Every structure is written in C-alpha cells, then in structure tokens.
Amino acid sequence: MAKKLPSTDVVVVGLGWAGSIIANELADEGLKIIGFERGPWRDTATDFNLASATDELRYSRRQELMLRTKQNTTTMRNNVTETALPMRTWGSFHPGNGTGGAGNHWAGISFRFQPHEFRLHSYLSERYGKELSPELTLQDWGTTWEEMEPHYTKFDKLAGVSGKAGNIKGVIQEGGNTFEGARSEEYPNPPTAQTYAPTLFAEAAKNLGYKPFPVPSALVSRAYTNSLGVKMGACTFCGFCTNYGCANYSKASAITTVLPVLIRKPNFTARTNCEVIKVVMDSTGTKATGIIYMDGNGDEYEQPADLVVISAFIFENVRLMLLSGVGKPYDPVTNTGTTGRNYAYQTANSVKMFFDDKNFNPFIGGGAIGMGIDEFNNDNFDHSGLGFVGGGSTRVTPIGAAPIDSRPVPPGTPAWGSAWKKATVDNYASTMSIGCEASSYSTRTNYLSLDPTYKDPLGRPLLRITFDFPENDRKMAAYVTSKVTEIAKSMNPRQMVPAAQTGHWNSAPYQSSHIVGGFIMGADPKTSSVNKHLQVWGVPNLFVVGSSAFPQNPGYNPTGTVAALAFKAADAIRTRYLKRPGEMISV
C-alpha cells in the first residue's frame, strides 16, 4: 500500500525539456511544485566534466545517458498479425534518463514546424483533394501558427538558438530558410561558423538554384546569457555532441538553461530516482488526484496534487495514460479510441560520398553545425501526380567522427582485417554525407498499446509499438533521396551510396529518436486526447505534454516544438486555468 504524502499544488512528471519548462513557469506563479524524475539528477559541473565527457565507449557505445532497458523498454512489431518482442538493447531510438532527459544527448537542431503543419489534414485536402492517400490518418493540431509562434520565440531565447531568419514578419530574409513561417524576430544568436563539408554542400546546392541556410542550432554560436539569466559558452565544435552531455555549457538542455534557476526556487522540489507508476484518478474518472511513485529504495508513495502534468518521453507519456485508464485505448480495427492513436516516426535517408581529393577534418563538428536546404521538405514542392505527400529536411551536419563509430568504408570492403584498416585510413577524412530527415505520416495501423506478454520490473505491461513505414513515406523517401543524389553528383565524388528508407521498419539500427503521437492534440475529443492547451479532454486538471501530442511528424526535428508546446501549456495554465480551473475548451 502506498504511503500517502501531504498534498501539493502541482506534480510534474519528467524533468526533461517539457517538464522543466512547465515547472519553472508555474513556480513563478508561487505554486508549490514537486518534479519527479525516474533517473538521477544530472548537472554539467558534476556529470559532464570536460576531462571525461568525451568518452565514446562510455557514452556512445555503452549509452550511459540512456534509459536502461532492464528498467523499462518497449516491445515492437511491424503489424497486428505479428507478436511483438521486447527491445533488449536500444537500436532505432535513444530514450533518455535523468534530469535533462533526451535533451542532454540531443543534436541541438532547432527547427520550428511550418504554419501549414498545424492544419496539415485540411491543408493537404484543400490542395490535393482525392489524390491524398486513404492510407493516411493525418490530422490538424487544433491550433495555429499564430498561436504557436510566441512560444517558439520563448524557446529560442531560452536555448539561445543560433541561426539566420528566412522570414521576419512576412519579409523574406536573404541567407535564411525562406520556407519557414513568419517569425516575430531574428534568432537570438547568429549562425555558428561552418566546417568544410557543409560549406561545400551549400555551394553545390546554390549552384543548382537552391537556397541553402545555416541549420538552426541550440549549440550556441557565442557566449550567451539566456532569458533566465543562465550563462552558456560558445560551441567549440568538439565533436562529442549527439549522444553526449555538453561539457562546455554550449548545448542547450534543461540542465544548461532551466534547472539551475528552477532548483533555487524554494517552492520547487525535485524527487529524482523516483519512478511514477500511475496517475491516480477519482471515482468519476474526470479528475486526477495525484500520482503513485516508487522511490530509489523501492518504497511506494502516493503524492496528491491539485494539478498533474505528465511531461515524460513520449513512450512513458502514453504508457502512463494507458496504465492509468485515461482516455479510451485506440483500436485499429474499429478505428475508435484515442490513447495510442496516430503513432509516427521519422524517415531517415542519406547519400554518402567518398572523395579522393578532399580532407574534411571530420572530427571537428557538432550535432547542429551545418547547412541545409528545404526545397524537398513537407509541402514545399508540388506533389501533384507524385503519388505521395511529405518530404524531408536536407542537410549536412557532421557531428564529429569519433574513433569507434566512424569508419566510413565503401560497400564491398571487408568488415575486418588489413583491407578494412587500409580503407579506413583512405576514407576517414575524405568522406561526407548528405542527410534527409523526412516526414512520417500517421496511418490507421501504426499505434501504441500495452503489451499483453512483457512486463517491466514492477510488473506493469511494457508499451507495444506497432509500426511500419507507410507506402506514402517509402515513395517520398525514394523521391527525396533521388533529389539529394543529384546534388551529391554535382559535387563529383569518387563514389556515392544513396540510402533511401526502404522496406519494413527494423528496430536494430539507430535511425532517429524522433518518435511522435499516441496522445495527440486536436479540436475533437473523438480523435484527439488533449486540446490545444495540452489539457486532457474530460480531465481538466491533467496535462500531457511532449511529442506524444503530435498528430504526425513533419520533416523536421521535434525538440523545438516540444518545448514550444510546454511554454504553450504553461501559458494557458498561468493565464486561464488558474483563474478558472476547469475545461478550457468545451466541445
């Protein structure tokens, strides 16, 4: 029996980007807040020491910053006819653990979604009508670009995003991404410097008539004091970025931008190494009364609260809702229910290029240091007659070629021995790659549910992923990869290796941690779980925030939008909910 603790105003579950932002905003209202985190307290000064942070074996191979799969994992299958199996080591994606969450080991690429994304179903229906494949279950978000923009701006200032605007208040800006939605102001920091490979790519793209722009980066380009007064140092291109914590206070994360301020507030408490087991609902199912959690000693507690905010990684957001009986579980056969609905991923494509006469010094780099083009992204090109919708963000962002993982050798090279060693020496410095991080559109049969077989150490069912790449996305992948290959060809490499996403989803190789949906936002409680304020339909004191709210995934990285949604939810709570607790939108 869980021991019942004295009640608090707010519990926030998960202290990554979303939870830290919301907790900090609500702390400014004077509310008493307890933040729960299943992993340890992490802090740059103690955890990401410059003298030891650049350890590839520890962080990349052994994945020290990731959730331990024996603590919690997911099962996976490609379709409903299969029996799902658990992922015993992380492959396809990297869920984080500890304060900062996956936002510690992210790459720092900070795109905003485009205006049409927030009404994607309406927009594509208007533009392509019957051409739109019935396979897709795209939805509108129930919000608009105009409602999102101020919250994106807040995140930019929190994270010190470095870049070049392409559109300020409708005026197109030379050198920026002209496809972006109208921004209210320029980025808080100028773009980072560029290394050789992105520079070469940008020249080639420009020669072909495209408009290259610096990838928006949350690795700051210069010393920066953020909107909360926390200092960041300029990125040093150290090359140990994605999968690593930043030792230079350069990569924005909750621990480098929010938590130093939040933890000083007397009305905030963090409970780390505390796993939240479920949300407690009252007998009517219309009110959350708190949460049950287990601390590091294995003791169970009930923490009552007036307001419950769930802001964990997408998988745990959705699983907690399924375990707590919030919303009706989605059923792909009858196409009813909302919890688990519209699960989507990201479609990763690339073209690798081997040169004879180039030296890219590839050990210099960072997760978001690079140049991109957006001509083949989302609906930035006419899809009439192409048989698919969607597209991807094309870019060269060399993250730093670390010694264990980075062994670029041409196809046909033996996997070991002297020939492999020679090929490594010949190609290490003269290989680059163009990536195309493309959209993943939801379908009726891709969804999340509780696994009937496999359980976590506490005896709770694991989350089951049922996912395969839709036909639409495979066609899209082939198309955008052919376009990227044209650019690659113009750069005259000795050899090119295009790799479009084909076939079934395979959970073994790493692809992307950009996982979305399952507890999506929208305007209709029949087809969505939360309203545009991230408030659960029918449970007004429960908010669920994260990429779980995305109805589908565009060809962009999700973090900026996760953070903007966190600011949006916090703003709604501060300006509306606290004044009049209850459903903010009635249908």
Partner 1 sequence: MKTLLTVCAGVIGLSLNMAHAATGADSYNLVEKGRYLTTLGDCTACHTLPGKPLFSGGVILDTPFGKLAGANITPDPGTGIGRWTFDDFQNAMSKGHGLDGKLLYGAMPYTAYTKVKREDNQAIFAYLQTVEAVDNKVETNQLPFPFNVRTSLIGWNLVNFTQGEFKPHPDKSEQWNRGAYLVEGLGHCGTCHTPKNLIGGDKNDNFLGGANLQGWVAPNISSKAHDGIGAWTEEDIVKYLKTGANRFDVASGPMAEEVEHSSQHWKDDDLKAVAAYLKDGAKPADAPKPIAANDAAMVAGKAIYADRCSACHTPNGEGVEGLFPKLAMGPLINSADPSSLIRVVVAGSRAGATDAAPTAPAMPAFGWNLSDDNVANVLTYVRNTWGNAAPAVSSGDVKDVREQLRPK
Region near partner 1 per CB under 8 A, out of 171-179, 227-235, 284-292, 512-520: 227-235
Assess 261 for contact with partner 1 (CB under 8 A): yes
Q: From the list 125, 267, 269, 482, which residue makes contact with partner 1 (rule: CB under 8 A)?
A: 267
Assess 31 for contact with partner 1 (CB under 8 A): yes
The CB-of-151 to partner 1 minimum distance in angstroms stands at 23
Q: What spatial distance separates the first Cα and last Cα of the chain, rounded to whole Å?
A: 38
Q: Is 166 in contact with 216 (CB distance < 8 Å)?
A: no
**Closer by beta carbon to partner 1, 50 or else 425:** 50
Assess 46 for contact with partner 1 (CB under 8 A): yes
What is the C-alpha separation between 528 and 536, in angstroms, rounded?
9
Region near partner 1 per CB under 8 A, out of 43-51, 424-432, 436-444, 563-571: 43-51
**Closer by beta carbon to partner 1, 29 or else 149:** 29
What is the C-alpha separation between 39 and 275, in angstroms, rounded?
8
Strands 542-544 and 300-310: parallel
Q: Is 250 in contact with 220 (CB distance < 8 Å)?
A: yes
Q: From the list 190, 233, 461, 525, which residue makes contact with partner 1 (rule: CB under 8 A)?
A: 233
Q: From the list 4, 40, 45, 89, which residue makes contact with partner 1 (rule: CB under 8 A)?
A: 45
Assess 55 for contact with partner 1 (CB under 8 A): no
Q: Give the closest residue to 156 by CA, choosing from 214, 99, 108, 117.
A: 108
**DSSP assignment letter at 584:** S
Assess 190 for contact with partner 1 (CB under 8 A): no
Q: Mark 568-587 with x for binding to partner 1 (rule: CB under 8 A) and - for no binding.
A: ----------x---------
Residue of 116, 151, 383, 514 with catalytic role: 514
Angle at which helices 17-27 and 559-572 pack, to 10 degrees? 30
Residue 105 known to be catalytic: no
Assess 276 for contact with partner 1 (CB under 8 A): no
What is the C-alpha separation between 37 and 271, in angstroms, rounded?
6
**Closer by beta carbon to partner 1, 202 or else 220:** 220
What is the C-alpha separation between 280 and 290, in angstroms, rounded?
5
The dihedral sign for the CA sequence 19, 342, 96, 254? negative
Tell me the three state secondary structure of residue 516: strand
Kindly state the number of chain residues that form the binding site for partner 1, as judged by CB under 8 A: 33
Q: Is 407 in contact with 424 (CB distance < 8 Å)?
A: yes
Q: From the list 306, 426, 471, 583, which residue makes contact with partner 1 (rule: CB under 8 A)?
A: 306
- Whole-angstrom CA distances from 17 to 41, 101, 263, 354 are 14, 7, 14, 38
Q: From the list 223, 419, 425, 587, which residue makes contact with partner 1 (rule: CB under 8 A)?
A: 223
**Closer by beta carbon to partner 1, 232 or else 515:** 232
Q: Is 573 in contact with 364 (CB distance < 8 Å)?
A: no
**Closer by beta carbon to partner 1, 233 or else 461:** 233
Assess 50 for contact with partner 1 (CB under 8 A): yes
Binding to partner 1, residues 535-574 (CB under 8 A): none
Residue 156 amino acid letter: D
Assess 44 for contact with partner 1 (CB under 8 A): yes
Q: Give the closest residue to 179 by CA, choosing from 442, 370, 394, 434.
A: 394
Interface contacts to partner 1, rule CB under 8 A: 9, 29-32, 44-46, 49-52, 223, 225, 228-234, 236, 238, 247-249, 260-261, 264, 267, 306-307, 578
Task: Give the residue numbers annotated as catalytic, written as ranges.
Answer: 514
